[in-house]
Every structure is written in C-alpha cells, then in structure tokens.
C-alpha cells in the first residue's frame, strides 16, 4: 500500500489548484473519495483510491500516465501489431505498459489518447459519459447542405443506424468538400462508412478534438503527457 497523503495536497500536486482552494472545494462537497464526500484531514491512497473533483477523476498516482498523441496516417492504434507495423505505443516515450484509448483507424490521422488509467479510459470510451470526438473530413465531390443535414438525422449502415451529433460544411468545391463532424460513438470506421453511404468517400480524415481538448501545436508523431486540467477539459467537453 502506498503512503496515504492529504487530499488537498494530492489535488494541488495534480496542478488543479492551490491547497487552500482545494480545501474550499472539499468543504463545498465538490471532492469525492471512492464516491463519498470528504472532510478536511482525509487522506488518499494513490495506489488504490479514486479521487474526483466535480465528478472528474484526479490522477493522484505517479504510476498513472495518459498521453495525447497526434497520430500520423499509417500508424496502428493497438498496443502491438503481429505484422510488425508501427503502433501508437511506439511513438510514446514511457516505460509503463500503455494502451490506446478507443480507436483511430490506420488511414486516419489526429488526436488519440494512450494511457494505463483504466478508470479514465472507461469514462472516455463508454457512451454513457458523453465524451465526443470531432473530425475534419475531406471527401470527394460537392456536398450539399441537405446531405450534411442527413449525417445528423441518421445513416443506415451494415451494423445499424449511425448519426453525427453535429455536422458542418467547412468548404465546398466541384471535386472536393471539407466537412466537420462531432461523433459520440466510436464504431469501426464509422465516419468513413457514413460519408461513403451518402455518396462522398473520404480522402482524408483527421480527428481534431477529444471532448473539449484540442492541440493545434502538436505535430504529427508528437505526444505530450496530459495534465489534470487537460483531463477536466476532455470529460467536461
């Protein structure tokens, strides 16, 4: 069992706020330890306890690592690949055993999380928590506003209907269009299949945001470790 530390210190160490502000949050009932309200003087075991602020998990264990990666096309979103292809794990500089959070198909680019935090992974990937992903798709042909609207109404796919939370035409042309979609689900190649189903095959697909987190400065192939504030942005959308 790891050494138990005061909760206000754990919150401050996570970079969310000062100890005094953490004490105010505790008194205000915003902090839960394993689902129960805390009081001043309570301590947390970083190796086993779950500490949340406003419902968002706080990474209090040094063993828990989560990275934001800008995945280039051609990189596989798995922990290992039997064919020896480069995976998202290969691009992370860590000695921890990490796993991709959700999926981003090999041909697609953009933001993906890599983590060993099971609680955080569940909150990001389970639809009940409502964490969306935003994509920018370059497609063939001229997309009309009615077609864009159809993406939010729903499209029938082989594995059932699918719909975007929102869809916006960014740019239209004679031979290509750019459309931005916000998705809740993460079914296999769902965005590509939806756009193909409405007559506009994807030529390039980039994930630009996970929940409320984006990072336009992160170069393809680069990654950075998430802060507690980043995690709040993801989960609070």
Catalytic residues: 105
Structural tokens at position 75: 């990189």
223 pairs with which residues across the strands?
A: 69
Nearest-angstrom CA–CA distance, 114 and 37? 30
Quick check: 186 and 125 in contact, CB under 8 A? yes
Note the helical H segments in 103-189. 118-125, 145-153
**Helix, strand, coil percentages in the chain from 3-state DSSP, rounded to 5:** 25, 30, 45
Nearest-angstrom CA–CA distance, 71 and 106? 9
Is residue 116 exposed (0-12), middle (13-18) or buried (19+ Cβ within 10 Å)? middle
59 pairs with which residues across the strands?
A: none
């Amino acid at each position: 069992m790891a050494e138990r530390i005061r909760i206000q210190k754990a919150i401050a160490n996570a970079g969310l706020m000062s100890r005094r502000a953490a004490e105010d949050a505790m008194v205000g009932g915003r902090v839960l330890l394993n689902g129960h309200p805390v009081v001043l003087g309570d301590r947390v075991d970083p190796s086993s306890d779950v500490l949340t602020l406003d419902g968002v998990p706080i990474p209090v264990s040094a063993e828990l690592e989560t990275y934001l990666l800008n995945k280039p096309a051609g990189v596989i979103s798995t922990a290992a690949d039997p064919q020896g292809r480069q995976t998202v794990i290969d691009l992370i500089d860590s000695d921890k055993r990490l796993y991709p959070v959700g999926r981003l198909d090999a041909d697609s680019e953009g933001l993906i999380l890599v983590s060993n935090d099971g609680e955080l992974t569940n909150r990001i990937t389970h639809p009940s928590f409502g964490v969306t992903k935003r994509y920018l798709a370059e497609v063939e042909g001229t997309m009309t506003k009615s077609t864009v609207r159809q993406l939010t109404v729903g499209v029938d796919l082989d594995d059932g209907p699918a719909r975007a939370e929102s869809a916006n035409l960014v740019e239209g042309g004679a031979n290509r269009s750019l459309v931005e979609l916000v998705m809740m689900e993460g079914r296999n190649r769902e965005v590509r299949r939806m756009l193909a189903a409405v007559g506009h095959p994807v030529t390039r697909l980039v994930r630009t945001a996970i929940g409320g987190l984006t990072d336009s400065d992160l170069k393809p192939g680069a990654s950075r470790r998430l802060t507690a504030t980043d995690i709040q942005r993801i989960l609070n959308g």
